Amino acid sequence: MANKDVLLSVKDLTVEYTSEGEVIHAVNHVSFELEKGKTIGLVGETGAGKTSIARAILRILPEPPARVPGGEIEFEGKDLLKVSEADMQKIRGKEISMIFQDPMTALNPIMRVGEQIAEVIKLHEHCSRQESIEKAKKMLEMVGIPGERFYEYPHQFSGGMKQRVVIAMALACSPTLLLADEPTTALDVTIQAQVLDMINDLKRKLNTSMIMITHDLGIVAEVCDTVAVIYAGEIMEYGTREQIFHDPRYPYTIGLFGSLPDLNSDVERLSPIEGLPPNPADLPRGCAFHPRCPYAGEECRKEHIELKDIGGGHLCRCCRLNEIAAGKAKEV
Partner 1 sequence: MANPMIEVRHLKKYFNTPKGTLHAVDDISFKIEKGKTMGVVGESGCGKSTLGRTIIHLLESTDGQIFLDGKDITHVDKHQMHEINERMQIVFQDPYSSLNPRQTVEDVIREPLKLSKRYKTRAEIDQKTDELMKLVGIDERLRHAYPHELDGGRRQRVGIARALSLNPDFIVCDEPVSALDVSIQAQVLNLLQDLQEKQGLTYMFVTHDLSVVRHISDDICVMYLGQLVETSPAKELFIKPLHPYTKALLSAIPSTDIDHPHERIKLQGEITSPVDPKPGCRFAARCPYAAEACRQPQQLEEILPDHYISCCRARELNKDIL
Site residues for partner 1 per CB under 8 A: 45-46, 158-161, 188-194, 196-197, 215-219, 221-222, 241-242, 245-246, 255-264, 266-267, 269-274, 276
CB of 307 to partner 1, least distance (A): 22
Q: Output 134 or 216, the one with its CB closest to partner 1.
A: 216
CB of 184 to partner 1, least distance (A): 9
The answer to whether the beta carbons of residues 144 and 163 sit under 8 Å apart is: no
Q: Output 87 or 242, the one with its CB closest to partner 1.
A: 242
Q: Output 267 or 326, the one with its CB closest to partner 1.
A: 267
The answer to whether the beta carbons of residues 129 and 117 sit under 8 Å apart is: no
CB of 225 to partner 1, least distance (A): 11
CB of 253 to partner 1, least distance (A): 11
Q: Output 105 or 271, the one with its CB closest to partner 1.
A: 271
Ramachandran assignment for 278, one of left (phi > 0), alpha (psi -120 to 50 degrees), beta (any other) = beta
CB of 145 to partner 1, least distance (A): 11
CB of 240 to partner 1, least distance (A): 10
- Taking the CA of residue 105 as centre, how many other CA atoms within 13 Å lie in the half-sphere pointing to its CB? 4
Amino acid sitting at position 242: E
Distance separating alpha carbons of residues 37 and 7, to the nearest angstrom? 9
Distance separating alpha carbons of residues 98 and 82, to the nearest angstrom? 20
CA angle 194, 215, 117 (to 5 degrees): 45
CB of 174 to partner 1, least distance (A): 25
Amino acid sitting at position 29: H
Q: Output 44 or 71, the one with its CB closest to partner 1.
A: 44
Q: Output 176 or 226, the one with its CB closest to partner 1.
A: 226
Q: Output 12 or 197, the one with its CB closest to partner 1.
A: 197
Starting at the edge strand found earlier in the chain, the sheet holding 315-316 runs 96-99, 177-181, 209-214, 39-43, 226-231, 234-240, 315-316, 308-309
Distance separating alpha carbons of residues 5 and 108, to the nearest angstrom? 37
List Cβ neighbours of 25 (8 Å cut-off, separation of 6 or more): 14, 16, 232, 233, 280, 281, 283
